[in-house]
Amino acid sequence: MLGRMAGDTVVIETSLGEFTIALEPDRAPATVANFLRYVDDGHYANTLFHRVIDNFMVQGGGYDVEYQKKPTREPVTNEADNGLDNVRGTVAMARTSEPHSATAQFFVNVADNAFLNHRGKAAREWGYTVFGKVTAGMDVVDRIKALRTGARGPFQKDAPLEPVVIRAARRG
**How many domains are there within the chain?**
1
Q: Does 64 fall in a domain?
A: yes
CATH number, residue 34: 2.40.100.10
The model carries a pTM of 0.95
Q: Domain range for residue 110? A: 9-171
Q: Does 2 fall in a domain?
A: no
Q: Does 3 fall in a domain?
A: no
- Cβ-proximal residues to 63 (8 Å cutoff; 6+ apart), any chain: 47, 48, 50, 69, 70, 153
How far apart CA 28 and CA 26 sit, in angstroms, is: 6
Q: Does 84 fall in a domain?
A: yes
Q: Does 146 fall in a domain?
A: yes
Confidence band of 5 (pLDDT split at 50, 70, 90) = low
Q: Does 82 fall in a domain?
A: yes
Return the pLDDT at 15: 98
pLDDT digits (tens, 9 = 90+) for 122-143: 989 999 999 999 999 999 999 9
Q: Does 103 fall in a domain?
A: yes
- The answer to whether 77 touches 129, Cβ cutoff 8 Å, is no
Q: Does 51 fall in a domain?
A: yes
pLDDT digits (tens, 9 = 90+) for 44-84: 999 999 999 999 999 999 999 999 999 999 999 999 999 99
